[in-house]
Each structure stands twice: as C-alpha cells, then as structure tokens.
Amino acid sequence: LEFAVQMSCQGCADAVRAALDGAPDVKLLELRPQEQSVLVETTAAAERVRELLENSGCRAVLKGMGGS
C-alpha cells in the first residue's frame, strides 16, 4: 500500500515510523518525508493502516495498492 502522508518535518517522519513500528502486521518498506510518501506491506486492511498513520498526528490518504 502507498499512502500520501503530510509530513512537514523529521519529527513527523519519526512519529509515522513509531506509529507503524507498533503494528505487528505492518511492515514499513519506504518512508520518504520529502515526497510525503509511505510505502508499507501488510495483511491488515488499508483503513486500519490509514488510522495508524493518522494516529501519528499526520493526515494520510491511500494512493495505491498492488499485489505480489
């Protein structure tokens, strides 16, 4: 899943990383604060991952998904 996440500083990126680190079913693949992009691999529903991202204090929108 790829999300657009409003990250305005390194603190935002750190908060996003911490929010996802606490979820056992979500693997962070890429965190790109400059592009405001987060790429994850997960078995959880997209809405659940969005909620985790927004718990970091940043707004998040699903950009896309793909399968293996």
Question: What is the average pLDDT score of the chain?
Answer: 94
Which domains can be identified in the chain, with CATH numbers? 2-64 (3.30.70.100)
Q: Given a cut of 80, is residue 68 above it in pLDDT?
A: no
Helix (H, G, I), strand (E, B) or coil at 61: strand
Average pLDDT over residues 19-41: 95
Q: Given a cut of 80, is residue 53 above it in pLDDT?
A: yes
DSSP letter string, 6-32: ---SHHHHHHHHHHHHT-TTEEEEEEE
Q: Give bridge partners of residue 61 from the DSSP assignment.
A: 4
Give the per-residue pLDDT at 10: 94
Count Cβ atoms within 10 A of the Cβ of residue 68 and give its class: 0-12 exposed, 13-18 middle, 19 or more buried: exposed
